[in-house]
Structure 1
Amino acid sequence: MSTTEQIDIPGTDPAMLRPGGGGPAGVRGSRRRAGAAVRRPAAAAVLGTGLILIGLNLRIGVAAVGPVLADIRASLGLSASVASLLTTIPVVAFGVFAFGTPGLSRRIGMHRLLGLTMLALAAGIVLRLHSSLAALFAGTILIGAAIAIGNVLMPAAIKQDFAHRTGLMMGLYSTALFVGAALASGLTAPILPAVGGQWRAALAVWAIPAVLALLVWIPQLRRTPERARTTPTLADGPDAPGEPPMRALLTDPTAIAVTALMGLQSMGYYAMLTWVPSILQDDGMDATSAGWMLSYSAFPGIAAALFTPALARRMRPAWLPVLASVVLTALAYTGLACAPATGTYVWMTLLGLGQGAAISLSLTYIVWRSPDTHHTGHVSTMAQGFGYLFAGAGPLAMGAVHTATGGWAVPLLVLGLLLALQLAAGAIASRDVHVRARSR
């Protein structure tokens, strides 16, 4: 594989980078170094597998709690509000800890830090084995912090190592998020009998995928920050001279749109993740069937997440995929508001397709709207930091509106109105422009 055919250096004439095409030797050397990560097919396969396995783990620690939440409450005597913190804390942590990721990446190195997130994630999951309530919540916070760092680093790592295949890799990454969530939500309860009905042991089982990802990632741990600094566009090294800091993006329309899209679609996703079973049960469906319907929605979500980035590259106008995701989600909300326990498979299919497309687009736009890995890290931090802080209010706000109105129609209507803002943000984010393009 020729490296001069794979990686694009923003702001550089492609003719200068072809063999014999002239141009500064330093630019050609930088291009060769940037392509080193994908030069050997075997090394690229190991690297890609490691990234996908890391992505698989970035929802498991949170999704595994829901199926055994009733067991946790009964065992520890927790109220519903206190128990709900076990699913709310990680989402808030996704936002809070995202802002510290760039500094850690500069000090430790992006690839080493990704490995440490898997170690921290496994440690947080195992910590919940301890019988104390403090250990349960400490493990939950550690899990949220590890996932937050992984969330921010993954788009930057894909931009750096697979710049020639960002659409494919972002699709696979988004799919891995859905697969991990589906596995955890669907298998945690069936694991209970195999571990003597102990919910702590059932949760601890999910440390195994994190350890597996860490083992596959071992070859990447030798990639030092110093080596990455040979090219100024990589997120491992310090900011290059003249590069704008992240605060410069706070007024950039494209960066704001990507952040708004991430926050709005995440709010809807976590609101539905929390309340869909209750919506269905209040309409007469039994708890087991309601839980299955939520798990089922992940399957169309997986398909949408996998194929949406590739379709978005080809569809014109560019905002059509965003419109499709919004319309599908709006139809699902309408069905759940009007006849939740009738035609439930239809509503859950529409919901999965809409949410899968939305999360895939929001993550992919982080990469596509960044001219280089340096900016990808900043946009990822901004979008996921502010986005998840905003999304954390979704489940709480929906529950509050339900309590005030005594039904689910008004909360679903509010979520539907927010889809209009999601469409507007997505339309701006879909424009083929880079953040801070003027500074380049």
Structure 2
Amino acid sequence: MTQAAVTSRSSSALLTLTGILFVALNLRPALTSVSPVLKRIGETLALGSFGQGVLTTLPVLFLGLCAPLAPQLARRIGVDRAVLVATAVLGAVLVLRPYSGTVGLFAGTLIAGGCIGVMGVLLPGVVKRDFPSSASVLTGLYTAVLCLGASAAAGTTEPMRLAFGGDWQAALAIWTIPAWVAVVFWWLQLDGKHIPRRPTKPARSLFRDPLAWQVTLYMGLQSSLSYSVFGWLPTILQDRGMPAVDAGIGLSVSIMIQIGSAIAAPWISSRMRDQRAMIALAVLLTGAGLMGCVYAPIGGIWFWVVILGAGQGGTFSMALTLLAVRARDHETAARLSGMAQGVGYTVAAFGPLGLGLLHGIFHDWQVAGVFLAVIACAVLGFGLAAGRPLYVGEAR
């Protein structure tokens, strides 16, 4: 291969990686930008606890419901074009939903969740296809960028609302900007690229495989805790006496801490016999952080926020790791990813909804904390089962 060809291939790979990272940056801000201003939205649109719970649940539910559409869309127009379309629709929805009234806000939020569901299912396949020898490292990298986007939205939306004179609509709409930046970079990396239009159709379903269900339920239940935190942690902290800006920063700090543990957990577990010890550590830290945020004295809340972030970064990155290590080949991994994210995120939707319902019924967070503890115990159980050194689709 000539030097010019090597240089061209390196430039193309760098552009593709840049596109992947910008798309990853947009996989959470549509969700985490809502919770810091949730109280203001509720006051403006007369949404009670139930309405606010539904608003935080819709995007997670449609993450799961739309995940199975991703392979179908990819077969029709190609994986890369499907990512481009989903990112462009997300950008349009983010600028429209705050200014479309109550119905538009709810409709825009569910569409945003659907777009993210499609993007999230397809992006790991692009990484494995274009960077097969570095897939695990780059998965950790784009997971870290995903956490960075989530943290930025959680920490800056409320300050931006104040900067815009109390306008929560403008503070939400501004998150369309990174989406359109991602569209531009993804479009650039498509130029002149040979794109397979019809991926191989999956051979058979994994829905009768017990290990696949263990991975799926671990993915779904840990996501349920994550989206409960995304949707309700600022409200919980505000109800416990923190100012709105500090509560949003609390969520932001927690997510920022996830960046380190999201990279470290898969790297450390790769040097172990299996993933059970790392999963157990991550889940225990998550549970401790949640209980601290709900029950511990408010003076020590920043310690518990950090513990929560360290745990949740590990639980999420280990869920993505299981999608790869529990499959012998990338076709099986793709099928497992579709099942785990499709069913898992649908299960996850009931976390923030249940939290909102319990708060509405009991008017405090004590019972809701027990609800979170029960979910954490279930995450631990399914995680220990999924972390065994076995492979899906094989007789045992």
TM > 0.5 between the two?
A: yes
How do 1:82-231 residues align onto structure 2 when only pairs under 5 Å count? 82-128=51-97, 130-222=99-191, 228=196
Structure 1 match to 2:234: 277
| Per-residue Cα deviation, 1:134-182 (whole angstroms, up to 9, x for no partner) | 3333322221111110111122222222221122111112112211111
Q: What secondary structure is seen at the aligned counterpart in 1 of 2:270?
A: helix
State the 1:38 CA deviation: 12
Paired amino acid for 2:223: S
Structure 1 unaligned runs (5+)?
2-35, 230-235
Separation in structure 2 between the aligned mates of residue 363 and residue 315 of structure 1, nearest angstrom: 17
In the alignment of these two chains, the number of paired residues is: 393
State the 1:193 CA deviation: 4.7
CA-atom RMSD in angstroms: 2.8
Check 1:44–1:431 CA distance in 2 against 1; reply closer, same or farther (3 A cut). farther
Structure 2 match to 1:244: 203
Check 1:115–1:196 CA distance in 2 against 1; reply closer, same or farther (3 A cut). same
Check 1:199–1:228 CA distance in 2 against 1; reply closer, same or farther (3 A cut). same
State the 1:322 CA deviation: 0.2
Q: Check whether the contact 1:175–1:305 (CA below 8 A) recurs between aligned residues.
A: yes
Separation in structure 2 between the aligned mates of residue 166 and residue 97 of structure 1, nearest angstrom: 24
Q: Check whether the contact 2:32–2:230 (CA below 8 A) recurs between aligned residues.
A: no
State the 1:353 CA deviation: 0.5
Structure 2 match to 1:264: 221
State the 1:301 CA deviation: 1.1
**Greater C-alpha radius of gyration:** 1
Of residues 291, 306, 322, the one that matches 2:279 is 322
Structure 2 match to 1:418: 375
How do 1:277-296 residues align onto structure 2 when only pairs under 5 Å count? 277-296=234-253
Q: What secondary structure is seen at the aligned counterpart in 2 of 1:315?
A: coil
Of residues 280, 303, 313, the one that matches 1:356 is 313
Check 1:257–1:39 CA distance in 2 against 1; reply closer, same or farther (3 A cut). farther
* TM-score, scaled to structure 1: 0.81
Q: Check whether the contact 1:59–1:181 (CA below 8 A) recurs between aligned residues.
A: yes
State the 1:287 CA deviation: 3.6
State the 1:120 CA deviation: 0.7
State the 1:286 CA deviation: 3.7
Q: What secondary structure is seen at the aligned counterpart in 2 of 1:128?
A: helix
Check 1:292–1:103 CA distance in 2 against 1; reply closer, same or farther (3 A cut). same
Paired amino acid for 2:385: I
State the 1:213 CA deviation: 0.9
Separation in structure 1 between the aligned mates of residue 122 and residue 321 of structure 2, nearest angstrom: 13
Identity %: 38
State the 1:317 CA deviation: 4.5
State the 1:272 CA deviation: 2.5
State the 1:437 CA deviation: 4.1
Structure 2 match to 1:389: 346
Q: What secondary structure is seen at the aligned counterpart in 1 of 2:199?
A: coil
Paired amino acid for 2:22: L
| Per-residue Cα deviation, 1:23-50 (whole angstroms, up to 9, x for no partner) | xxxxxxxxxxxxx999932222211121
Q: What secondary structure is seen at the aligned counterpart in 1 of 2:106?
A: helix
Separation in structure 2 between the aligned mates of residue 406 and residue 95 of structure 1, nearest angstrom: 29
Q: Check whether the contact 2:94–2:108 (CA below 8 A) recurs between aligned residues.
A: yes
Paired amino acid for 1:92: L
Structure 1 match to 2:14: 45
Separation in structure 2 between the aligned mates of residue 48 and residue 86 of structure 1, nearest angstrom: 33
Separation in structure 1 between the aligned mates of residue 357 and residue 77 of structure 2, nearest angstrom: 42
Q: Check whether the contact 1:38–1:161 (CA below 8 A) recurs between aligned residues.
A: no
Q: Check whether the contact 2:158–2:248 (CA below 8 A) recurs between aligned residues.
A: no
Separation in structure 1 between the aligned mates of residue 150 and residue 133 of structure 2, nearest angstrom: 28
Q: Check whether the contact 1:281–1:290 (CA below 8 A) recurs between aligned residues.
A: yes
Q: Check whether the contact 1:155–1:376 (CA below 8 A) recurs between aligned residues.
A: no
Q: Check whether the contact 1:155–1:367 (CA below 8 A) recurs between aligned residues.
A: no
Structure 2 unaligned runs (5+)?
none
Paired amino acid for 1:314: R
Instruction: Give the ranges of 4+ consecutive aligned residues of structure 1 lying more than 6 Å apart after TM superposition.
Output: 36-39
**2:37 is the counterpart of 1:68:** yes
